[in-house]
Structure 1
Amino acid sequence: MAKHLDLEEQEQLDQIKHFWAQWGNLITWVLIAVFGSMAAWNGWNYWQRSQASKASALYEVLQRATSAGDAEKIERAFNDMKDGFGGTTYAAQGAMLAAKALFEAQKVDAARAALTWAMNDANDPAYQGLARLRLAGMEIDAKAYDQAMKLLDSTFPAALVPLVLDRKGDALVAQGKNDEAKALYQQAWKAMPDRMEYRQLIEVKLASLGVDATALANPVEVTN
Structure 2
Amino acid sequence: MAALDLQEQEQLDTLKSWWKDNGNWIVGIVLIATLAMAGVRGYHYYQNKQTTEAATLYQQFTEQLASNDVKRVNDAAAAVMDKYASTPYAARAALIAAQVNESGKEPLRAKTQLQWVIEHASEDGLKSVASLRMASLLLDEKNYAGALKLLEAKHAASFDALYADLKGDVLTAQGKPGDAKQAYKLAYDKLDEKSAYRNLVQMKLDAAGDAK
Per the alignment, residue 22 of structure 2 pairs with none
User: Once the two structures are superposed, what CA deviation does each residue of 1:3-25 show, in whole Å capped at 9, x if it has no partner?
Assistant: xxxxxxxxxxxxxxxxxxxxxxx
- 1:101 is the counterpart of 2:100: yes
Structure 1's 52 and 201: CA in aligned 2 closer, same or farther, altered over 3 A?
A: farther
Over aligned residue pairs, what C-alpha RMSD do you find? Answer: 2.0
The 2-side partners of 1:59 and 1:198 are apart by: 31
Per the alignment, residue 32 of structure 1 pairs with none
Per the alignment, residue 196 of structure 2 pairs with 197
Per the alignment, residue 72 of structure 2 pairs with 73
Per the alignment, residue 152 of structure 2 pairs with 153
RCO comparison, higher one (Cα < 8 Å, 6+): 2
Residue identity in the other structure for 1:172? L
Per the alignment, residue 162 of structure 2 pairs with 163
Per the alignment, residue 220 of structure 1 pairs with none
What stretches of structure 1 of length at least 5 have no aligned partner? 1-44, 212-224
- 1:87 is the counterpart of 2:58: no
Residue identity in the other structure for 2:135? A
Structure 1's 83 and 178: CA in aligned 2 closer, same or farther, altered over 3 A?
A: same
Secondary structure of the residue aligned to 2:175 is coil
Aligned length: 167
Residue identity in the other structure for 2:61? L
Question: Which consecutive aligned stretches of 4+ in structure 1 deviate over 4 angstroms post-superposition?
Answer: 45-48
Q: Taking structure 2 as the reference length, what is the TM-score of the superposition?
A: 0.72
What stretches of structure 2 of length at least 5 have no aligned partner? 1-43
The 2-side partners of 1:206 and 1:65 are apart by: 41
Offset, 1:147: 0.8
Offset, 1:195: 2.4
User: For the pair shown, which has the larger CA radius of gyration, 1 or 2?
Assistant: 1
Is contact 1:145-1:171 (8 Å) kept?
yes
Q: Taking structure 1 as the reference length, what is the TM-score of the superposition?
A: 0.69
